[in-house]
């Protein structure tokens, strides 16, 4: 059997095929991007808070070390 022959159909017969596309496509990206943006923003906020706390702790420690050195 070649491409032009098919069981149940004679050569030259017009055949109509109907199909329905059910694939809705990819999910909407905007909600996913919004979730990612919120997660990144929270992570940056936490990182900045930790950095600022660390900077404060470091500054306090440097002041203490300088003070200790002056006492000697």
Nearest to 44 by CA among 52, 34, 33: 52
Return the pLDDT at 8.
Answer: 65
Quick check: 67 and 60 in contact, CB under 8 A? no
**Cα separations (Å) of 16 from 9, 38, 68?**
12, 51, 93
**pLDDT recorded at residue 55:** 81
Weakly modelled stretches of the chain, pLDDT under 70: 1-12, 21, 72
Note the pLDDT tens digit of each residue in 17-37.
Answer: 777 767 777 777 777 778 888
Q: For position 5, what pLDDT does the model report?
A: 52
Q: What is the pTM of this model?
A: 0.40
């Amino acid at each position: 059997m070649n491409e032009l022959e098919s069981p149940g159909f004679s050569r030259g017969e017009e055949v109509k095929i109907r199909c329905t596309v059910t694939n809705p496509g990819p999910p909407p990206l905007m909600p996913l991007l919004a979730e990612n943006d919120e997660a990144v923003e929270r992570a940056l906020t936490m990182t900045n808070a930790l950095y600022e706390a660390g900077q404060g702790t470091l500054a306090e420690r440097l002041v203490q070390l300088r003070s200790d050195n002056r006492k000697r």
